[in-house]
Structure 1
Amino acid sequence: MDPTRTDWLERQALYRPARPAVVWDPTGETLTYGDLDRLGASLARSLAERFGVGRGGRVAVLAENSLEHVLLFAACQKAGFVLVPLNYRLTAPEVAHLVGDSDPAVVFVSEECRPLVLDGVPVAPLADVRALAEGGAGDTGGAGDTGGAAVAGGAALDDAVLLLYTSGTTGRPKGALYTHRMLVWNAVNTGIRLSLTDADVSFNAAPLYHTGGWNVLLTPFLLYGGTTVLLDRFDPDRLLRLCDERRLTILWGVPTMLAMLAESPAFEGANLASVRYAIVGGEPMPAPLTRVWQAKGIPVRQGFGMTEVGPNCFSLPEADAVRKMGSIGFPNLFLDVRVVDGAGRDVAAGETGELVFRGPVVTPGYWRNPEATAAAFFDDGWFRSGDLVRQDAEGYTYVVGRLKEMYISGGENVYPAEVEAALREHPAVAEAAVVGVPDARWGEAGCAFVVPAAAPPDAAALLDHCRAHLARYKVPREVRFLDALPVGHSGKVQKTELAALV
């Protein structure tokens, strides 16, 4: 049976009013659950009164990570508004497209980001968020007495609470609707699989225009009563110190972040005794890096997700981190999955197919984009992920690659992720990415881009390494060396940029 409550903070203020909900690391300022409930309710009323925001109205924010983001989220969750976090790394024309598409009642903008917003857009300074929240706080009483009926609108489970724009690597960004229902079930799924409690403390350095910043741990923690230490940026040295200072219990990030932590001069001396495990997602964790963390006594849980689903979809139990290295584990509890061929038929264990999802954590669709919504679903509500996976005889799932990244060489399907994994096993390789390129003889062939671990290795030696570990048709045609792989805002390698180099 579905829950009916969308305002979590009202109850959290009763259960644990003095417990820190969010700590802003640059200054140490703390918002308790009582604070967040009180200020969120006050801010919701102020947004309704000053900007006319009603149920379903959009409130945008364009700024680097801040406590104001969290206050706006609290207001939107309470009142049925929709928060639109905008990517501050975009250009002004790109921001203009997102603002025009989402049509917010107001855009709260930091001073640094003001030049990105074109004239004619309803803009307010980011500092106004705190002023609006504090300005109406006096008429609500104490923590747990927020005058919930006075909060404008209210929300239903199927109302949107976040409008999250995808990275747009294949075209214009699409606005994925994230509902209160998704919020609840993602948090429940996450708590069950990760054994979350109100004693958990973690950090958040992910940008808050990205689903990871909101929904990997921040919103699940708000449901379970944990504490999030919010960072303005990812700093591996600072984060390692935080592990001991704040007694962090969970680390998480993309593999690049865990690599930077392991490469920090502070890594060897870091105690990390409070850390239960590290979660990695976005792309597969290289096996050598997993072993580095295992040697430090930190189990690594490979995860998998996407903006439109969850985003916490799969998790590998830490007990299997070595035995099933490279697997994303099993789907979370309240999520159905299938692996299908191009005709939508289930494939057998060991065969590669597209991963599809159905359940309460799946988006209802894309904002004002019925064509994209229709293309994303098939056969009674199954959502197409675009990810190619296989499942072994024990039911563990392995990501093989993206459907659009697969290429055909000599009539054989080649999945770049498999080739990349083989390359990363070579000690001279720090990072690797493979793209399919036209080939006169085979139709397509692989081009490998490698970031060396030290001095560039011999390309011929890397190709020999591939021949020893891969079928001949999977071996790249050539190897090119780069100082760094191009990555997008979510930390994923941008294959389209690599293909343009060939």
Structure 2
Amino acid sequence: MYRKDWISKWAIYSPDKVAVTEYETNQSITYKQLNSQANYLSSRFLNTGCEVNDRILVIAEHSITYVALFSMAQKTGITLVPVNYRLSAREIEYLIADSNPSYLIAEKKFDQLIPKSTDTKLIWMEDLVQELASAAETPFEALDIDENHPLFILYTSGTTGYPKGAIYSHKMLFWNSVNTSQSLELTPSDHTISCMPAFHTGGWNVLLTPLLHRGASVGIMRKFDPDLLLQLLEEEKSQLFMGVPTMLKMMAESEQFEKADLSNMRYFIVGGEALPLNVINTWHSKGVKIRQGYGLTEVGPNLTSLHQDHAERKIGSIGLPNFYTEIRLKSSDGEDVKPGEIGELCLSGPLVTPGYWRNEKATKEAIQDGWFRTGDLAKMDNEGFLYIVDRIKCMFISGGENVYPAEVERVLRQMPEIDEAAVVGVADTQWGEVGKAYLTATNGTLPDKDLITTHCVKHMAKFKIPKHIVWLEEMPKNDSGKIDRKKLKG
């Protein structure tokens, strides 16, 4: 019986092939070694009080051991909860309370993020690495797991101001891998370098897990370094790379850009936001083709793809739906719109999440009649190419990270001096978009900008903190009395 255990298969087919390389430590692990580590972890956690439906929350940078934990989760049904180490301690405290993990695994450098009040069993990642280094061979047969069982819980900032845990199931993992392999023509001979963090679906599901499913090799960079990345892509003769536009811009501006030999590269995959034409042209002039696409944590994330041959002709498009992605563009009354008309992008297929962790209300709002409502407004041209027009949810993307204004506004309003707060995304040359906060004072006393920043740092991640602050005597309102964001953005 197939038990969704990919690494054990490749441990038989290609035992001595390198599965993962970790550049910061200059370590590599073969498929046989990776499978052995995952087997040990499976026995270790199931024999020390962890059960099939339990969760392990992780606060750590990407690593070989993190990938071994992924394989363990495939084998056992234990769910991984990767947490963003850029969050504040109070934000992480909420995630621990919401996911209720049996274990918490963290790197020691993030110890200040661990709530002192938590009674969750704590394991330092460094200690786990040492434990694996001396672990004896431990046979383990993968358990039979329901395909809709959570493999990951990936938290996304919520429009209500509180994060939602998107369930990423074993079924989603499989079909995303098939979808990706089909559209990107992945082979066991391929190699990539992953710079995306493990708390982001891109750190797992854009290329890393699909390539592991194909028995290919993946390199991991814990932190993005444009100079070093260009050097490694050349040395490794990598065929694919995935990054967000900010990364590609910084790489193109690197001193290593001109001399880096990327002749083995089939293409770069770009997601998160549209890549400007001048950046596309810069990479094309170097012989590196660009494939843009669209995805989100709750579906996929590899949902559409703009073939590199259309990168310039269809600038701004997210491409065509991938093989196992079903789409509809729906009007506000639920009817399908015609080509050229704007509608909400809705998605269906085996890549859609079963729902949000312990959040039935959010699940029912997002999934209706089998279709996931993305909240993104899109249109389709006469050739079937899709274009994102706007975001219903007002979310904006800063350096590849989703920022939801409601979450930022909630933190700002905690200051007694602030009466109303409205945050919008504005263009930024480095990060794509950053936050611009419009504020009104409670009693005419306006706090200093540095005081606001200090308050924000305590309560949320730095990338969420507004870069621009504008004081208003009165907020513009619409007929229903709500803040008119269109006037603010205009």
TM-score by length of 1: 0.79
Q: Residues 196 and 452 (structure 1 numbering): CA distance in 2 closer, same or farther, change over 3 Å?
A: closer
8 Å CA contact 1:62–1:87 kept in 2: the answer is: yes
8 Å CA contact 1:169–1:494 kept in 2: the answer is: no
- Aligned partner (choices 210, 225, 230) of residue 220 of structure 1: 210
8 Å CA contact 2:3–2:144 kept in 1: the answer is: no
Q: Residues 448 and 125 (structure 1 numbering): CA distance in 2 closer, same or farther, change over 3 Å?
A: closer
Q: Name the amino acid aligned to 1:376.
A: A
Q: Residues 452 and 67 (structure 1 numbering): CA distance in 2 closer, same or farther, change over 3 Å?
A: closer
Distance in 1, Cα, partners of 2:6 & 2:281: 39
Deviations 1:422-465 (A, max 9, x none): xxxxxxxxxxx9x9xxxxxxxxxx99945469xxxxxxxxxxxx
Instruction: Describe how 1:348-427 pairs up with structure 2 within 5 A.
Output: 348-378=338-368, 380-405=369-394
Tell me the equivalent position of 1:31. Answer: 29
Deviations 1:176-207 (A, max 9, x none): 00000000000000000000001111111111
Q: Residues 180 and 39 (structure 1 numbering): CA distance in 2 closer, same or farther, change over 3 Å?
A: same
Q: Residues 493 and 277 (structure 1 numbering): CA distance in 2 closer, same or farther, change over 3 Å?
A: farther
SS at match of 1:123: strand
Work out the number of aligned pairs and report it.
418
**Is 1:345 paired with 2:343?**
no
Instruction: Describe how 1:47-86 pairs up with structure 2 within 5 A.
Output: 47-50=45-48, 52-86=49-83
Q: Name the amino acid aligned to 2:332.
A: G
8 Å CA contact 2:36–2:137 kept in 1: the answer is: no
Distance in 2, Cα, partners of 1:288 & 1:305: 23
Instruction: Describe how 1:266-305 pairs up with structure 2 within 5 A.
Output: 266-305=256-295
- Aligned partner (choices 7, 19, 33) of residue 9 of structure 1: 7
8 Å CA contact 1:40–1:133 kept in 2: the answer is: no
Tell me the equivalent position of 1:240. Answer: 230
Q: Residues 499 and 184 (structure 1 numbering): CA distance in 2 closer, same or farther, change over 3 Å?
A: farther
**Is 1:256 paired with 2:246?**
yes
SS at match of 1:21: strand
Distance in 2, Cα, partners of 1:263 & 1:196: 29
Q: Name the amino acid aligned to 1:23.
A: T
**Is 1:306 paired with 2:304?**
no
SS at match of 2:357: coil
Structure 1 stretch displaced more, 9-18 or 228-237:
9-18
8 Å CA contact 1:4–1:157 kept in 2: the answer is: no
8 Å CA contact 2:108–2:126 kept in 1: the answer is: no
Q: Residues 494 and 401 (structure 1 numbering): CA distance in 2 closer, same or farther, change over 3 Å?
A: farther
**What is the CA distance between 1:128 and its match in structure 2?**
3.3
Tell me the equivalent position of 1:468. Answer: none
8 Å CA contact 1:21–1:30 kept in 2: the answer is: yes
8 Å CA contact 1:39–1:137 kept in 2: the answer is: no
Instruction: Describe how 1:77-156 pairs up with structure 2 within 5 A.
Output: 77-119=74-116, 120-134=119-133, 137-140=136-139, 147-148=140-141, 153-156=143-146
Distance in 1, Cα, partners of 2:2 & 2:132: 26
Distance in 1, Cα, partners of 2:344 & 2:462: 20
Deviations 1:64-102 (A, max 9, x none): 222221111111111111001111111111111001111
Tell me the equivalent position of 1:183. Answer: 173
Distance in 1, Cα, partners of 2:304 & 2:136: 40
8 Å CA contact 2:268–2:291 kept in 1: the answer is: yes
TM-score by length of 2: 0.80
**What is the CA distance between 1:404 and its match in structure 2?**
3.0
Distance in 1, Cα, partners of 2:353 & 2:469: 31
SS at match of 2:47: helix
**What is the CA distance between 1:167 and its match in structure 2?**
3.1
Q: Residues 247 and 139 (structure 1 numbering): CA distance in 2 closer, same or farther, change over 3 Å?
A: same
Q: Residues 496 and 314 (structure 1 numbering): CA distance in 2 closer, same or farther, change over 3 Å?
A: farther
Instruction: Describe how 1:421-500 pairs up with structure 2 within 5 A.
Output: 449-451=426-428
8 Å CA contact 1:12–1:33 kept in 2: the answer is: yes
Q: Residues 401 and 493 (structure 1 numbering): CA distance in 2 closer, same or farther, change over 3 Å?
A: farther
Distance in 2, Cα, partners of 1:54 & 1:300: 44
SS at match of 1:290: helix
8 Å CA contact 2:394–2:424 kept in 1: the answer is: no
Distance in 1, Cα, partners of 2:182 & 2:124: 39
**What is the CA distance between 1:243 and its match in structure 2?**
1.3
Q: Structure 2: any 5+ residue segments left out of the alignment?
A: 398-402, 406-422, 431-455, 472-487
8 Å CA contact 1:45–1:136 kept in 2: the answer is: no
Tell me the equivalent position of 1:193. Answer: 183
Tell me the equivalent position of 2:44. Answer: 46
SS at match of 2:41: helix
Relative contact order: is structure 1 or structure 2 higher (C-alpha 8 Å, sep ≥ 6)?
Answer: 2
Distance in 2, Cα, partners of 1:498 & 1:388: 26
Distance in 2, Cα, partners of 1:496 & 1:403: 20
Q: Residues 170 and 371 (structure 1 numbering): CA distance in 2 closer, same or farther, change over 3 Å?
A: closer
Q: Name the amino acid aligned to 2:347.
A: F
Q: Residues 313 and 495 (structure 1 numbering): CA distance in 2 closer, same or farther, change over 3 Å?
A: farther
Q: Name the amino acid aligned to 1:195.
A: E
Q: Name the amino acid aligned to 2:384.
A: G
8 Å CA contact 2:83–2:199 kept in 1: the answer is: yes
SS at match of 1:357: strand
SS at match of 2:92: helix
Q: Identity of counterpart residues, as a percentage? A: 41
Tell me the equivalent position of 2:414. Answer: none
Q: Name the amino acid aligned to 1:112.
A: K
**What is the CA distance between 1:287 and its match in structure 2?**
1.1
Q: Name the amino acid aligned to 1:108.
A: I
**What is the CA distance between 1:138 and its match in structure 2?**
2.3
